[in-house]
């Protein structure tokens, strides 16, 4: 079973983290938050964006990058950054990998990226656009990883409530 992980490095905006938390619940993905956070985990904007899903979220927090590395020594990590040479579709996401995103104002520190060039990925954009919204970026890359893992453990078909599709 695919057990993907999203890592947010020092997220700053509670609504983004709330939206990402909701996406993680909907996909069975674990969320890892590396402090310092730009908000409190009981902040109303976080819970508003995450709605009633936040209580179902598998979330772990870490005091800093070193704490995260110490507690996840064998993690295969992909680093989502606008600075990467490869796109997010150029890699094969393992079923238990971690996909890391940086804080909204600065991204992932370049010291971390430099040590992980081969597993750094980007979302293509035109012109000089700095970046996409963090929660949108997470959804784009996470769903590619899920697709590559054949949407393992996910509901693949929807249904109408009052009518049937074949009527």
Number of domains in the chain: 1
Give the burial class of 55: count Cβ atoms within 10 A of its Cβ; 0-12 exposed, 13-18 middle, 19 or more buried: exposed
pLDDT digits (tens, 9 = 90+) for 64-115: 999 999 999 999 999 999 999 999 999 999 999 999 999 999 999 999 999 9
In a domain, 163, yes or no: no
Cα(127)–Cα(129) distance, integer angstroms: 6
Q: Where does the pLDDT of residue 130 fall: very low under 50, low under 70, confident under 90, or very high at 90 and above? A: confident
Where do the DSSP E strands lie in 26-97?
A: 30-34, 59-62, 77-80, 86-87
In a domain, 166, yes or no: no
pTM of the model as a whole: 0.92
CATH assignment at residue 20: 3.40.1280.10
What pLDDT sits at residue 19?
92
pLDDT digits (tens, 9 = 90+) for 132-158: 999 999 999 999 999 999 998 889 988
In a domain, 67, yes or no: yes
What pLDDT sits at residue 39?
85
Choice between 10 and 128, residue whose per-residue pLDDT is larger = 10
Extract the annotated binding site for S-adenosyl-L-methionine. 102, 123, 131
Contact 117, 90 (CB under 8 A): no
Residue 81: domain span: 5-148
Overall average pLDDT of the 44-72 stretch: 85
What pLDDT sits at residue 79?
98
In a domain, 68, yes or no: yes
What pLDDT sits at residue 48?
66
In a domain, 86, yes or no: yes
Where do we find the tokens 């010291």? 111
Overall average pLDDT of the 50-59 stretch: 80
Phi-psi region of 157 (alpha: psi -120 to 50; beta: other; left: phi over 0): beta
Extract the annotated binding site. 102, 123, 131
In a domain, 140, yes or no: yes
In a domain, 82, yes or no: yes
In a domain, 117, yes or no: yes
């Amino acid at each position: 079973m695919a057990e993907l992980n999203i890592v947010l490095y020092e997220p700053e905006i509670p609504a983004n983290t709330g939206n990402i938390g909701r996406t993680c619940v909907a996909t069975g993905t674990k969320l890892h938050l590396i402090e310092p956070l730009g908000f409190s985990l009981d902040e109303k904007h976080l819970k508003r964006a995450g709605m009633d899903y936040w209580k179902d979220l598998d979330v772990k927090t870490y005091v800093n990058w070193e704490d995260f590395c110490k507690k996840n020594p064998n993690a295969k990590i992909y680093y989502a950054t606008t600075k990467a040479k490869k796109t997010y579709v150029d890699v094969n996401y393992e079923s238990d990998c971690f996909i890391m995103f940086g804080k909204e104002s600065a991204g992932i520190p370049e010291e971390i990226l430099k040590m992980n060039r081969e597993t750094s990925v980007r979302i293509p954009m035109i012109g000089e656009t700095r970046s996409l919204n963090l929660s949108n970026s997470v959804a784009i890359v996470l769903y590619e990883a899920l697709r590559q893992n054949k949407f393992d453990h996910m509901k693949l078909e929807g249904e109408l409530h009052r009518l049937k599709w074949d009527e």
